[in-house]
Structure 1
Amino acid sequence: MTILTDAEVRNIPDGKTRSESLGRGNGAMLFWRERGNVQCYYRYYSGNRPTLIHIGPFTESKADAGYSLKECREKANDLAKTKREIGKQDLKQYLELEAEKARLAQIEAQRQKEIEATRGSLADLIAGYIQQLERDGKDSVKEAKRSMEKDVIQAYPAIAKKKARDITPDDICDIIATIVDRDARVQANRVRSLLHAAFQYGAHADYDPARRGNKRFNLEHNPVGLIKKDNAAEKTHDRVLSDHELQDFYLNIHHSYKVGIIAACLVRMMVATAGQRPKMLIRSTWQDYDFERRTITLTERKGRAKPRKHVIPFTARAIRIMRIVQAHNSDLPGPFYTVGGKEMGLDSLKNVFKYWHNHRTNKAMELNLPEPEKFTARDIRRTITNLITDAGVRPEDNDQLQSHDQTGVVKKHYDRHHHLPRKRAAIRQYDRRLSSVLTGRKWKAEQMLVR
């Protein structure tokens, strides 16, 4: 077997070739002088037809670009090895396919790189959320901006730089824990709420036509949803029920001594309709209920303003409750009227909570446990407000759902047609959160995303 030397390759005449066998069945290394330059090829046979694969130019001097004889030989042997490995496949076709795969992979890698560059960080998400608050004219925007800058951006710059979609519950927990450690528990709740709202904003922002061309967040879940809210931080001023307390109350109120089925349905309707004021529900008549449209029209008389209509969409849960009431009181002016045709008194409602407390106290005594803490109808409404926030309902939608005071243009144009679709979406979000409470299922962040 002929082994070529550098001198032999350099002395190949123009248009002539020299070859070096790589062993039986392994093909050969072929040098061919073309237009004055020597090119190296790997040659193999498919049947009786020779096939050449270009390796590259042979370098005849140190100043020339190309491969040395040793390098040419190594590359030719690598090709021979590949040919053995692929078996009956044609080597040239195989290499062309591999080159095409590599080209497509490079294109995809570049595409992914460009996509990654458009993905916003947590800092970008917070900035976008603050801008949204500013556009919405929120009074809380300055405080929100200060809290996010101090307790997130400055406190955890590395987390702030992470892509928003890569933020984990552990990241959020680290941020909140730092605030708790300085004994600022109320502020910890506020920052948690702001971060939760920011991720809710981000879940919709990618599909906002007004933001086309801006950073995208590609969120798949809300990492704040798994972070426990410190309800005890607010207990010095406001009573908020735990999930277990609300579950026990809703499911078992009818077991309380002296609490009738209609009274039990009334307090359940408060919960099912996202915390409507009990006086508004008590005052309603059957004419206010539209089971075909699945709505109830309440009359808001709170404050000095003139009475106004407040339309609440029904969930399936609320309809089930009202069907029970219909079976008992369909012949009365309203669902929560007494046999004498009068509205149920607020004293009767207060007694429901008194009897429930007595019921819980008796159970605690039987189990040798301390007396449970009391709560009222106002505490139920406050608790539901928190659940609505946990469910990801925007503050402005919550205001409409719970009939908070409306002023200015909002009040002027407040009607069922303008707000009902948003109320339906909001109460569906809330009802999913309520379901997790009543069933005892763990609340998952993915449940919060409404696309």
Structure 2
Amino acid sequence: MGHKLTDAQAKSWAATGTIKKSGVLTPTRTFSEQLGARGAGSMLLERRPNGGIEVYLAVRRGGRQERRKLGHFGELSSGGQNKGLSFWRLEAERVSAAARDFPTLGAYESHLLQLSADQRRDESLATRQGSLEQLLMAYVADMERRGKTSAKGVLGALRLDVIKAFPALAETKAKDIQPEDVSEILRHCISRKPASKGRGIRKTEASTTNGKLTAANRLRAYLRAAFSFGLKHDLNPLRAGDAVLFGLRFNPVADLPTIEGAERANTEALTKDEFREVIRAVNSQEGKRQAIARAMIYLAGQRVEMLMRATWADLLEDAEHGRVLRLLDNKGGKGTPPRDHLLPISGRLGDVLQPLLELQHAPGPFSLDGLRRISSHTAQKIFSELGAELSKRGRTRYFTWRTMRVTIETHLAMLGVDEQRRAWLLSHGRSGVQAKHYDRYSYLKEKREDLARWAAYLDALV
């Protein structure tokens, strides 16, 4: 038909069911208007018994007519306007043009359904994609789940130098973080004023000597490991189906170089005379503070985190070697399970530890107040305070517990304890498949001999 309806005529048709044709009101169920372009089809109007008028696009393809519903005449738009015939003519032409490249209207409909599904999926992924802060927290949680003792320290560094220092960046999606962002984080870590720690505020300026470069380099390692974790997270079949996704495509830390001048090992050991002054100062301490410091030295400088975790359940009786202290060594490489590190505490070492073994009501042998275990930080602080005091009096150079560990291993070597036996005694990392996975011998005999030799050396020193 060349004739076109007006909105008024369409409303009358909806009410009466008739359209005036050649001056005569004629009952009509459908009415069509040819669209402008050839082959574009027509806008088809169909009146329902309830008086509603449905709008369709009708096209003929391959001798067969198809139609697709567009909507209802007179329905309201999102802006509250009635959709009249002029609106539906434009909509029919738009859909006709969009469907022209498809063999059928059904194929076009399937295409729209797929686009809608893709959009819903993308929106769902977008709402579940985690921020940088969520990535860092998930990484730390994974460390804790795997029993990594460094998890607490890593969390502190990430909170201080990333989450609190760059709140806007922390809220950014992890997949949008660029190498330039990480570089800015590391620059801030190097240049910021040292954070307050403990009582008072530290006034020292940031420099290589006070560990700022090392802190930044370690932060770089933490961030690289976090993004590496995130890259594998989304594909992990063991994660919860509704877990946050990160959508990472690359590791933005991978190409950042290590920080020059960082991780300079403290290989300086105290001399025999200086070591003597340290032991005398330790012996002058009072109460459990003295007992814990002496134990740390007489146990040959074990890693303090391992030592302070010990509980009464870790005191074992061995049929051949007597009382044994079991420490749990979590410092293995990837895929290496924690292993028991056993230390015989008979003889002179038993005498040194006896004051600590008397407080059975405490949560473990290493306690200052009998109520809770001493933290590794507090235990190490005993030696940093002694280092400040003795160096001020000119008795020694300044030292910390780290210096003491270097000193102890150096003096063990001077006593003739070879490198392999020192590794057994101090639970140094094992290399090679045989050492890591198959060697389960505890070396208690060798450790007992070396600890006895070490205790005799310390007693003779003072």
TM-score range (shorter-chain normalised) is 0.3 to 0.5
Q: TM-score w.r.t. structure 2 length?
A: 0.43
Larger proportion of helix: 1
The TM-score with structure 1 as length reference comes to: 0.44
Greater radius of gyration (CA): 2
Answer 1 or 2: higher relative contact order, Cα 8 Å, separation at least 6: 1
